[in-house]
Homo-oligomer: A and B are copies of this chain.
Amino acid sequence: MTATAPIPKFHVPAFLGERRGEGETADAVAIALKAAPGAIVSGERLCRSLGLTRTAIWKAVRQLRAEGYTIGASRRVGYRLAGEPDALLPRTIREGLGTRALGSGATCFRKTRSTNDAGLRLAELRAPEGWVVTADEQTGGKGRLGRSWYSPQGGGLWFSVILRPNLPVSGAQALTFLGAVSTAHAIRALYGVPVALKWPNDIVHGGKKLGGVLTELAAESDQIKHAVVGVGLNVNVARHGFPAAIRDTAASLRTIMRRNIPLVPLLRRILVEMDRRYAELVSRGNGAALVAEWRELTPMIGSIVRVSHFGHVREGTVAGVDPDGALLLRSPSGVVDRLLAGDVTILRR
């Protein structure tokens, strides 16, 4: 918190869901208690330094406890922070994040239909660039082409980032690569798990789907007005936690690493990875660097694949991806097609 700018204010419609972790008083109390790690801070000192009444302090402590903070309290002596939660809250996400744009603010839902839907709505309501939307649970999590994304309570990172890049709409695939490449690098850096990428938007491991990226945008003619890059990443879903229909094709960091992984540090690392690459994308005005990074993370180049799109099926060899992120598919006759969308099945590596 200390190193971040004040959170801009705009109206978040209540119908999007119940939010967590907001409130300046709770933020101030959390900061004050963290500044004295393990120590007891007297109620009087808190009142004085924060300019708040005892009742206000007590309310903030209750809120923080409800959010998962462990705070010891004794009426005579004071308060002591004994533990912080691994909870997705604006405070835990943004504290000292050190990014330029990503995480300019955050709205954290217990439950919302889809963080992309909420992000699109907040973007229309003028949420600043870099605003993050998270949900502990999505009731209507979305994949590409109207598919659903299983997003159970606490099972993973279901979040979206609002961006306002000065890019033509042809930059949409670069934004999807931005989400995928950043997530893959965060996982590799934190946990050493060699996750890979699959065109157009999958994060995979051992042939199973670990996560996906869904970019949605609003445009005026050829120019992006705002985009929402949504990431769904299975983190702590157990193998038998997945619905039967996807149990054999889905993976989570837990099924790979056989332990639970805290969500907050992983989200923060993804945001840091995205922030650096996003700045480069916008300053260059094209996604060439992202496409190059994406290529390094995919085992698809040279594979024989089948691509289906709205009933059209083609087979061929993946020749690469072009600067806009389109898949280049070489047919048996040698013709190279440029595919903008489709579902890919890898037939042979």
Contact = CB atoms under 8 A, between A and B. Distances in A.
A47 interface: no
* Copies of the chain in the assembly: 2
B219 A341 contact: no
Contact of A222 (B120, B222, B340): B340
B222 A172 contact: yes
A218 B221 contact: no
A252 interface: no
Contact of A219 (B166, B200, B201, B219): B219
Task: Tell me what chain A mostly uses at the interface: helix, strand, loop, or mixed.
Answer: mixed
A310 interface: yes
Contacts of A341: 168, 221-223
Interface residues of A, number: 26
A170 B172 contact: no
Contact of A166 (B144, B176, B214, B310): B310
A149 to B, nearest CB: 13
Select the residue from A166, A168, A222, A225 with max chain B CB neighbours within 10 A.
A222
Select the residue from A166, A172, A225 with max chain B CB neighbours within 10 A.
A172
Contacts of A112: none
Interface of A: 120, 144-145, 166, 168-170, 172-173, 176, 200-201, 214-223, 225, 310, 340-341
17 contacts: A144-B221, A168-B340, A168-B341, A170-B170, A172-B222, A173-B222, A176-B221, A214-B220, A216-B218, A216-B221, A216-B225, A218-B219, A219-B219, A221-B341, A222-B341, A223-B340, A223-B341
